[in-house]
Amino acid sequence: MTTAQTTAQNTSNPLLKHFDTPYQTPPFDEIKPEHFVPAIEASIETARLNVKKIKSQDDAPNFENTIEALETASEDLGTVSGIYYALLSVIGGDAYQNLAEQIGPMTALFSSEVSMDQDLFARIKAVYDDRENHDYNDVEKTLLEDTYKGFVRSGALLSEEKQEKLKELNQKSSTLSPEFSNNLIQSSALYELRITDEKDLSGIPDTAIEGAKQAALDKGYENEWLFTLDFPSYIPFITYADNRALREQIWKAFSNRAYGDKFDNTQTLQKIMKLRNEKMKLMGYDTYADFVLEERMAKTTQQVIDFLDKLKAAYKPGAQKDLEELKAFAQKTAGIDEIMPWDVGYFSEKRKVELFNFSEEELRPYFPLDKVLKGTFQHFSKLFNLAFTERADIQTWHKDVPAFEVSDKNTGEIFGVLYADFYVRKDKRSGAWMGTFRNHGLFKGETPPAVIEIVCNFPKPTKDRPSLLSFNDVETLFHELGHALHGLLGQTKYQSTSGTNVMWDFVELPSQLQENWLYEKETLDLVSEHYETGEKIPAHLIEKLCASKNYMSAWMGLRQTSLATLDMAFHSVQDPNLDDIVAFEDDAIKDCSFFPRYGGPSATSFAHIFAGGYAAGYYSYKWAEVLDADAFEAFKESGLYDQDTAQKYLSMILRRGGSADPAILYRDFRGRDADPDALFRREGLLKKVA
């Protein structure tokens, strides 16, 4: 391509122009896959020039001309790459997936180039070494320390030979996580359970049956019902379907995702681990976990292992009891002598109905998505005085995705823009997450509002019913909006210290905390309304929901502990033998398992640690549960919507982002460290803890 052609393409590329949109939000209507590579290339060159200016100036290095200047040097690159990786997850498909093979290595090489630049690092080190002679505020201290440590942890102190090797490893690694994620999506899409006999629908809720009917029609399957491995389809089937043989079939398909088919993730996983271990040896760490945990609240691998051992000791006896009771129930009610993994959810739900005269499916008609969303916004309005205003003039990536302006309902201050992508779609990544297009903080010399997304995979409306959520779906919405508000309400000067840019084992506190309100009538009244009658959830159903809250809690707690243990097994062992992934996994979680293996390994679909940011960090869900259980006790003591408590939490936790050590932030809010027994009190397991 000639220089003239490149210039013409760049001037017509919406990613390389000023976004003339509300709050400089991305112009999604204009963005096409072919715009990304030239935009990444151009923004890297802009960033290179900015870095060159920092290095070549005559003035002695100081905080403003070096640390702050570097903080804003790659703004364009951060914007473009952020949009790309967001669209890769929510749109996906070959057009975006294929770009990862170009974009990943380009951005990885540039990142390595900057972090290993000796002239740049010399300036950073000079400012860092002189830090005691300056009266920096907390945010500046954190940015300075994070910048210095970030360079060291990216190889700035390595020899030139080792730096070149690290660059090579970083480039190779950059394409593997997107590859892992895409394999999981594509493998899941291979499976279809097409039901033609209505008898095989026995036990399945009407809402799931309607969804399956619509899914079949969308595929052109007449007089059929289609079930897939997407959560809104899979979970109702495995939980309620009376046909045991079909439960077994779909369970095995789910457990074999990205294993044993053309999208098998085994080799991708092995490559990821090989590169991670090579990088750690190069950096002088024994294991990947040692490297990661150095910058976490937990600090050391041993502390995480001790934490998981404590959880295991608390949960395993109760989980064993849960299973024995399920076995007895299955034998009594169905004559089944040997319960299988695909029976656990089914008989657990049946037994729950017997014990509490309650099924969470009874709540689904009260949770139409529109009402839940409106009520969720009211909840956050009561807590933090927020207003959510839908903005039809803000472009989104799909017609089903609304955008909301988030502001202070009293002062009118604008905090940011929130995109909400709710429904299952082809090629969209499974699960739920919060993502950031722009944090609060310096951007182009100003501090514009944050731009945040939440993404879920809720059931689509059918021609006869709106999208009706399960109670778990509502918890998911509260969880992701907890993350989103962490991003939207951050108020630090710099993007890298704002919002969810906190230590990884602290990041789940604002999200998990919000789930607690959903066991309170005052909050349930806000988010519920029967889609046909308009009635609130009856008091007797709320009582049953709360009474059944800790049902099978030990079983579920051990499941989470098992996944965290598997994560640590991969990342806390020097050169783990991964020739046989199944054998490795079985050995790692043998103390958390009650069944022999009947399906594939969890590892090949464990996107959190191989395609997300949770490597050596999956324990953080349980770690943060201790914090959120303790934090919610503060609200229970003072009042669910007590403004003094809410404003203290807002100012001490949400607004401050990662501007200080999270242990300090938490103590500032609570007046003390978290009580480690708060989680077990909430789960009704305190008596089982020594």
Return the number of other C-beta atoms located less than 10 Å from residue 539's C-beta: 10
Distance CA 642, CA 633 (A): 12
Distance CA 32, CA 30 (A): 7
C-alpha torsion sign, points 523, 238, 88, 95: negative
Show the beta-strand stretches assigned E in 92-164. none
CA distances to 363, 522, 529, 543 from 539, rounded to whole Å, are 12, 11, 13, 6
Distance CA 616, CA 291 (A): 9
Tell me which DSSP letter residue 23 carries: G
Distance CA 625, CA 546 (A): 18
Distance CA 654, CA 652 (A): 6
Give the DSSP H/E element, type plus range, for residue 331.
helix 301-334
- The contacts of residue 197 (CB under 8 Å, 6+ apart) are none
Q: Are residues 38 and 13 in contact, defined by beta-carbon separation less than 8 angstroms?
A: yes
Q: Are strands 414-423 and 450-458 parallel, antiparallel or unpaired?
A: parallel
Choose among 75, 91, 98, 101: nearest CA to 31. Answer: 91
The active-site residue out of 453, 480, 508, 625 is 480
Q: Are residues 460 and 214 in contact, defined by beta-carbon separation less than 8 angstroms?
A: yes
Tell me which DSSP letter residue 68 carries: I
Q: Which residues of 348-357 are buried (b: 16+ CB within 10 A; e: fewer)?
A: bbbbbbeebe
- Give the tokens for residue 59: 């003035």
CA distances to 423, 430, 517 from 514, rounded to whole Å, are 22, 22, 6
CA distances to 112, 267, 272, 358, 449 from 169, rounded to whole Å, are 10, 17, 10, 53, 36
* Helix, strand and coil percent figures for the chain, each rounded to 5: 60, 5, 35
Q: Classify 501 as helix, strand or coil.
A: coil
Active site residue 480: yes
Q: How many residues make up the chain in this entry?
A: 690
Q: Are residues 226 and 216 in contact, defined by beta-carbon separation less than 8 angstroms?
A: yes
Distance CA 658, CA 656 (A): 6
Beta bridge partners of 403: 419
Task: Report the amino acid identity of residue 631.
Answer: A
Q: How far is CA 65 from the centre of its chain?
A: 35
Phi, psi of 126 (to 5 degrees): -65, -40
Q: Which residues of 651-667 are buried (b: 16+ CB within 10 A; e: fewer)?
A: ebbbbbbbbbebeebbe
Q: Are residues 275 and 172 in contact, defined by beta-carbon separation less than 8 angstroms?
A: yes
- The contacts of residue 598 (CB under 8 Å, 6+ apart) are 252, 255, 340, 341
Q: Which residues of 415-424 are buried (b: 16+ CB within 10 A; e: fewer)?
A: bbbbbbbbbb
Q: Are residues 437 and 443 in contact, defined by beta-carbon separation less than 8 angstroms?
A: no
Q: How far is CA 305 from the centre of its chain?
A: 22
Task: Report the amino acid identity of residue 539.
Answer: A
Query: Which amino acids are annotated catalytic?
Result: 480
